[in-house]
A and B are shown apart, each in its own frame.
Chain A
Amino acid sequence: MSVRSQLLKGVLDGCVLSIIEKETIYGYELSKKLQDAGLNDVSEGTIYPVLLRLQKNGYIRGEMRPSESGPNRKYYSLTDDGRSALNELALEWAHIAGPVSELMQRRRTDD
């Protein structure tokens, strides 16, 4: 596993939650959205264990229903628990992201 995908693993839950917060979505669409957001390193299949875990924790709800194009699909939506988990994650991320970026930045200017 590349360094980038290892780093990503920890924050992927938050990324998935933030996309589902915006809209009810099914798996294939979700993986497309992640890639569109620039996370090309996330192999598409990675989202399914994440979706199962988030469901088990009660952060999202999955519901099988017919899609506009015909076949049944499992659509995911955020629960109230999921919203508060996402809020907390976003807050924690803000605490970490700033200092880490600064440290990495400083490293470059010291050279």
Chain B
Amino acid sequence: MISSKQLILENNEKRKLLTKENEDYYDNMLVYIRLNWKASEQQSEEILMELLDHLIEGQQDGKTAADIFGNDPKGYADELLGELPKETLKTRLPFFSYLIVYLISIFLSVRGIALLIGGFFKPVDTSVFILKSTLVTLYSLVAIAALIWFIFHIVEKSLFKQQSSNWKDALKAGLAGVISFGLGIALLFLIPNFGPSFSFGWLPSLASGALLWIGCFWAKKKFTIF
């Protein structure tokens, strides 16, 4: 079996053979199908490659993408998505776990470095309040997931349109980013320091972050997560 990774690389090369008109048509379908994270990645890439091969061969006979796939690319892509097998949670789980641990490793490292640098200028409070930290971490993960979903949603809506207003979409995404980031900062200040706490200085923070990061790196190589 040819891996989805290889198929993506091959797809990138082959797409260069398309005429401008056919490429526009095909690109919209490609992004639309890839954005649908419920569909099996392997099967999605295989069908995308088949469509591309077909289009390239048809193009040589003077056919356009609309001649081959019809005048309703979104409807056609929806029909394909309806028949594509679903990705199971089990195959998605390693990727999501990886992502979460990776984010935490980055956060711990950045925190360690910030504490170290901040310490040169003024005494810093390194205590961690377990309940508050858990709440803020949970919020961050949910906010990031929501932000990614929102951006996917914006991109999805911009597809298959004659002209889409890019600056409006960028503004929406930027605004969502600012709001969710601001809310996170607000939480940090509004939730009082309460409950059990422990001191967590720059060194253990940076060291645990770096360790987790190395762990992520190793797991990614070992289990070829993506």
Which of B2, B46, B53, B80 is the one whose CB lies under 8 Å from A49? B80
> Within 8 Å of chain A (Cβ to Cβ): is B70?
yes
- What does the 1/0 interface line of B41-74 toward A look like (CB < 8 Å)? 0010011011101100110000100011110000
Q: A49, B83: Cβ atoms under 8 Å?
A: yes
Which of B2, B53, B76, B82 is the one whose CB lies under 8 Å from A27? B53
Considering the chains assembled together, what is the distance between the CA atoms of A44 and B50 in angstroms? Answer: 12
Chain B residue contacts of A72, Cβ below 8 A:
2, 10, 49
Closest to A47 in B: B54
List B residues 71-93 near A (Cβ within 8 Å): 76, 79-80, 82-85
- A28, A56, A62: residue with the most chain B Cβ atoms closer than 10 Å: A28
For chain B, the count of residues having a C-beta within 8 Å of the partner chain is: 25
Q: B53, A53: Cβ atoms under 8 Å?
A: no
Known A-B contacts A49-B80, A49-B82, A49-B83; A64 and B1 likewise in contact (beta carbons under 8 Å) = yes
Chain B residue contacts of A48, Cβ below 8 A:
47, 50-51, 54, 80
Q: A28, B79: Cβ atoms under 8 Å?
A: no
Known A-B contacts A45-B70, A49-B83; A28 and B47 likewise in contact (beta carbons under 8 Å) = no
Considering the chains assembled together, what is the distance between the CA atoms of A28 and B59 in angstroms? Answer: 12
Q: B53, A73: Cβ atoms under 8 Å?
A: yes
- B43, B63, B83: residue with the most chain A Cβ atoms closer than 10 Å: B83
For chain A, the count of residues having a C-beta within 8 Å of the partner chain is: 18
Q: B83, A45: Cβ atoms under 8 Å?
A: no
Kindly provide the distance from the CB of B58 to the nearest chain A CB, expressed in whole angstroms. Answer: 7
Chain A residue contacts of B83, Cβ below 8 A:
49, 52-53, 56
Considering the chains assembled together, what is the distance between the CA atoms of A28 and B79 in angstroms? Answer: 19
> Within 8 Å of chain B (Cβ to Cβ): is A71?
yes
Q: A31, B54: Cβ atoms under 8 Å?
A: yes
Chain A residue contacts of B49, Cβ below 8 A:
64, 72, 74
Which of A27, A53, A56, A62 is the one whose CB lies under 8 Å from B54? A27
Q: A28, B1: Cβ atoms under 8 Å?
A: no
Chain A residue contacts of B84, Cβ below 8 A:
52
Q: A74, B68: Cβ atoms under 8 Å?
A: no
List A residues 35-80 near B (Cβ within 8 Å): 43-45, 48-49, 52-53, 56, 62, 64, 71-74
Q: A64, B46: Cβ atoms under 8 Å?
A: yes
Closest to A32 in B: B57
Kindly provide the distance from the CB of B107 to the nearest chain A CB, expressed in whole angstroms. Answer: 40
Known A-B contacts A48-B50, A48-B80, A49-B82; A28 and B69 likewise in contact (beta carbons under 8 Å) = no
Kindly provide the distance from the CB of A53 to the nearest chain B CB, expressed in whole angstroms. Answer: 5
Known A-B contacts A43-B68, A43-B70; A52 and B47 likewise in contact (beta carbons under 8 Å) = yes
Kindly provide the distance from the CB of B158 to the nearest chain A CB, expressed in whole angstroms. Answer: 23
Considering the chains assembled together, what is the distance between the CA atoms of A110 and B57 in angstroms? Answer: 48
- What does the 1/0 interface line of A1-41 toward B look like (CB < 8 Å)? 00000000000000000000000001110010000000000
5 A-B interface contacts by CB (under 8 A): A43-B69, A44-B69, A45-B68, A48-B50, A62-B46
9 nearest A-B pairs in the assembled complex, by CB-CB distance: A45-B69, A52-B83, A44-B68, A49-B79, A53-B83, A64-B2, A27-B50, A28-B57, A28-B54
